[in-house]
Structure 1
Amino acid sequence: MTPLTAPDPGGHLLPAHLAGPVPTARRRRPRRGVVLALLGALIVVGGLGGLQLTASLGYDDSRAQFAQALDTAEGRAAEIRRTTDELISITDAASQLVELDSGMLTDPQTKEQLAASVASASETTSTTGELLDEDLPDAEAKPVTFWDLFAASTALRTDAEVLERLDTELADESPALDAASSDLMESGLAFLGSAADAAAPFEAAHISAKNDDVIALRNAAASVSEVTALDEGSVSSFTALQDAAAQVVTSENAELAEKAGPLQGVRLEVEAFARSLAPGVLIEFDWSPVVNGAGYGGSMGGLTTWWWDEPDRALIELSDSVAAQWPAERSRALVAHEVGHAISVKCEGMYDASTQDSIEKWATAWAIGMGFSDDANGVSAYGYPPQSYIDAALACR
């Protein structure tokens, strides 16, 4: 036991080992493993940060490439859709023309060509429509983690390639659409032109039709000849032309039915003679037993109504006795007198049309000028016309 030393007054004793010198403290160095772990963690964090940055920038580039491809494809699709819609509209009109055609006026070859153009255009729009119906890819919201960013970037690049391919395919359709539209328009206008051109010979082949129906045919043909595009308007014009042609046939059949009987052939011969004296004037004829108070007992009657407005036209009424006595000179002279009235529509202003006497003397003078000297030319009924009338009438042909 360690002996204790007597303490100073007011103090206390301590054991010797507590009272001895204080030992010096030592610092321990960090362990190598901890340092390496920290360094590794820093490296991993730095690497992950680099991956995240790289993935984010890569995504942005892919997104920009995708956006550009999408804008281009959408613009191309809008352009091709407009062109396709226009072609579909033209095709619909052309198809209606083919379906409505009765063959009354159109040329069979032009109709066949139009039908072929319709089929070709329909095939073209069908092919283009399939491309336009493809769903365009869309980009979702930007991911957060680098692994999702890398995956999304790959998907965006793939989608961009799809859009670029679609844009190329749509661009390739443009020439086909233009060619189909041009071919269809050319075939359609040729088809309509053939119908308009056929109106005149059709009219000539149905010479006995009523004037109003012939005029309607002419107007309808003129409307069709002015068509420059295939649309609803062209279909309406063609329909009106066909209806007018059908009415001409109906009108002629009705007129011929009225003229049926023993004198029909002679009546038509008289009408043809009258028309030959006044080319360019539309003349229709009505026949009755009595006209203008004459027709029985060997007498002949005639009456003409004409219109000064366009087109030149007139209605000549003749008694059946004119046909019964045909081709006697007196019958021919009377017809010439009536044609003198009818043709005055071409010679307005060449004589005084204010009095009935002047009007009758003009027609008589015209018949005389045409070489018909029988008194049935008007002389027997209205007297001999002044030489001045004959001279003026010679200029009216």
Structure 2
Amino acid sequence: MPGTGDVDVAPDGGHDFTAAGGSAGAANATALDLASHGAAPHGPAPAPRRRRRAVLAWSLSIAGVLLLAGLGAVLQLTANLGYDQAHTQLTAALTKQSDEASRNERVRAVDDESARAAEVLLGVTDPALVTDADRAGLTTARDRAQKASAAAMSLTATPVSEPGAKPSWFWELYSRTARLDADAHAVSSLASALGRSSEELGSATGAIDEKGLAVVKAAGGLAAQIESENVPSPNEGVLTLRELSAQLVATTSFDEPAAQGFRHYAATVQEVRDGHTATLAAEAGPLQGARQQIEDFARSLVPGVLLDFQWADRVNDLGGDNGYLSGETRTPIESGQYATILLSNSVAEEWPGDSSRALVAHEAGHAIATKCRSMVDNTDSASAEAWATAWAIGMGFTDPGNGTEAYGPPPDSVVQQSMACR
């Protein structure tokens, strides 16, 4: 049945279409679902991986910062420790340098004084007091001391570096530490040089002192010889010579006061020599020989008593022109074994007569009273004249010129007492 067949086929075809269409829809749906699931790996999934990478990057950055901070802290700590150690070393070196500089200045002051003292001795031209050998030795010692002093002055004038303020950052600390180390080394070297300089100054000073002291003491020991070579010479210069000689001989160290004493002594030596020349010139003339014999005679009677003599035509208005032998003696009141004897020229004219000898012995009795002050009664002129007369008698001079003619005979007790004074 075509009609029926047509009708029957059509639903089948429609059914097939529907089924096909339904199947296609289902297939499409399935295909879409599969496509949806199959695309999952290439879709929104990368977003979680980017978050993990960001966290890791932040973690690494923080760790780096912490590492750098730790490294910086270590560098800062070590820089501080190194700086503090260098600062301590420089401070210690500066203290040592300051101590050595102070010591050097003290030693140099002594050295300079010794050099100046040597200059004083070298300024004395008397070859008896400063021999050629002494002069050469002193010159060498002085030159060495002056050279050492100049070197010391240069060292003490050398500037030194102070530590300064402490920097803050480690790179500054490292730089400053290196400078402090170099400064500490330089200051330590300077301190050592100052120490060696002080030793040289002390040695140079010792050389001057040894030589200078020897010259001073040797010259002082020449006083007795100089005095004996220059008799007669005025008492004043001779007494000063004796005093200065004793000081020089007793000197135990050489310094400027000792050198000044030596120069004063040298001037006094020349004064004694000049006094000797002047005295001889004043006594020149026809009576010079007799005068010198009388003076020597008087000095022989009173050992240890220094005598000056003055000559005149009249003494106490008495002399040869009116027929007298006359004399007078002046002595220090309180202390000192010296005297000045005044004699008329008539004593020399009558020399060596007994009266002249007795009169000179009487005047010598006044002079030696300065040696025996506890025995002598000098309360008045009569007592003093009795003593001088008694002393002349005790010495064996019996001529009336001994004082008996002018003052009368003294008591025997005074004569006996005077014999203990020699």
TM (normalized to structure 2)? 0.79
* Aligned counterparts of 1:353 and 1:71: Cα–Cα separation in 2: 72
CA contact (8 A) 2:209 2:255 kept: no
Matched, 1:305 2:327: no
Deviates more, 1:26-35 or 1:241-250: 26-35
- Residue 252 of structure 1 is matched in structure 2 by 276
Paired residue for 1:29, among 32, 39, 52?
A: 52
- Residue 20 of structure 1 is matched in structure 2 by none
CA contact (8 A) 1:104 1:245 kept: no
* Aligned counterparts of 1:59 and 1:67: Cα–Cα separation in 2: 12
Q: Which amino acid aligns with 1:102?
A: T
- Residue 359 of structure 2 is matched in structure 1 by 334
* Aligned counterparts of 1:351 and 1:124: Cα–Cα separation in 2: 62
Q: Which amino acid aligns with 1:62?
A: A
Paired residue for 1:88, among 92, 112, 121?
A: 112
Paired residue for 1:362, among 387, 390, 408?
A: 387
CA contact (8 A) 1:302 1:334 kept: yes
Q: CA, structure 1 residues 111+309, in 2 after alignment: closer, same or farther (shift >3 Å)?
A: farther
SS in structure 1 opposite 2:369?
Answer: helix
Q: Which amino acid aligns with 2:278?
A: A
* Aligned counterparts of 2:93 and 2:410: Cα–Cα separation in 1: 91
- Residue 286 of structure 2 is matched in structure 1 by 262
SS in structure 2 opposite 1:310?
Answer: coil
- Residue 222 of structure 2 is matched in structure 1 by 198
Q: Which amino acid aligns with 1:66?
A: L
* Aligned counterparts of 1:307 and 1:57: Cα–Cα separation in 2: 84
Q: CA, structure 1 residues 288+279, in 2 after alignment: closer, same or farther (shift >3 Å)?
A: same
Superposition deviation, residue 40 in structure 1: 3.6
Q: CA, structure 1 residues 376+69, in 2 after alignment: closer, same or farther (shift >3 Å)?
A: same
Paired residue for 2:154, among 130, 134, 140?
A: 130
Q: Deviations over 1:15-50 (max 9, x none)?
A: xxxxxxxx9995432245665455444433432332
Q: CA, structure 1 residues 393+139, in 2 after alignment: closer, same or farther (shift >3 Å)?
A: same
Matched, 1:210 2:234: yes
- Residue 407 of structure 2 is matched in structure 1 by 382
Superposition deviation, residue 227 in structure 1: 4.5
Paired residue for 2:99, among 56, 61, 75?
A: 75
Alignment of 1:161-176 (within 5 A): 161-176=185-200
Q: Which amino acid aligns with 1:327?
A: P
Aligned-residue sequence identity (percent) comes to 37
Q: CA, structure 1 residues 361+141, in 2 after alignment: closer, same or farther (shift >3 Å)?
A: closer
* Aligned counterparts of 1:88 and 1:30: Cα–Cα separation in 2: 85
CA contact (8 A) 1:94 1:230 kept: no
Q: CA, structure 1 residues 82+350, in 2 after alignment: closer, same or farther (shift >3 Å)?
A: closer
Superposition deviation, residue 128 in structure 1: 2.8
Aligned CA RMSD, in angstroms, stands at 2.8
CA contact (8 A) 2:330 2:339 kept: yes
Which consecutive unaligned segments of at least 5 residues does structure 2 have?
1-42
* Aligned counterparts of 1:124 and 1:242: Cα–Cα separation in 2: 30
Deviates more, 1:357-366 or 1:220-229: 220-229
* Aligned counterparts of 1:317 and 1:183: Cα–Cα separation in 2: 51
CA contact (8 A) 1:308 1:348 kept: no
- Residue 368 of structure 2 is matched in structure 1 by 343
Matched, 1:58 2:78: no
- Residue 241 of structure 1 is matched in structure 2 by 265
Superposition deviation, residue 145 in structure 1: 3.2
Q: Which amino acid aligns with 1:381?
A: A
Which consecutive unaligned segments of at least 5 residues does structure 1 have?
1-22
Q: Which amino acid aligns with 2:217?
A: G
* Aligned counterparts of 1:128 and 1:356: Cα–Cα separation in 2: 69
Paired residue for 2:418, among 385, 393, 396?
A: 393
Superposition deviation, residue 139 in structure 1: 2.0
Q: Deviations over 1:159-178 (max 9, x none)?
A: 22222222233333343333
CA contact (8 A) 2:129 2:266 kept: no
Paired residue for 2:172, among 148, 156, 164?
A: 148
* Aligned counterparts of 1:341 and 1:38: Cα–Cα separation in 2: 121
Larger Rg: 2
Matched, 1:189 2:213: yes
Superposition deviation, residue 353 in structure 1: 3.3
* Aligned counterparts of 1:351 and 1:66: Cα–Cα separation in 2: 80
Q: Which amino acid aligns with 1:29?
A: R
* Aligned counterparts of 2:158 and 2:409: Cα–Cα separation in 1: 89
CA contact (8 A) 2:362 2:388 kept: yes
Paired residue for 2:341, among 302, 313, 316?
A: 316
Q: Which amino acid aligns with 1:253?
A: T
Matched, 1:177 2:228: no
* Aligned counterparts of 2:86 and 2:99: Cα–Cα separation in 1: 20
CA contact (8 A) 2:319 2:345 kept: no
* Aligned counterparts of 2:203 and 2:227: Cα–Cα separation in 1: 37
Q: Deviations over 1:62-107 (max 9, x none)?
A: 22222222222222222222222222223223323322x2327624
Q: Which amino acid aligns with 1:258?
A: A
- Residue 287 of structure 1 is matched in structure 2 by 311
SS in structure 2 opposite 1:317?
Answer: strand
* Aligned counterparts of 2:408 and 2:302: Cα–Cα separation in 1: 24
TM (normalized to structure 1)? 0.83
Q: Deviations over 1:258-281 (max 9, x none)?
A: 211122122112111110110111
* Aligned counterparts of 2:208 and 2:157: Cα–Cα separation in 1: 24
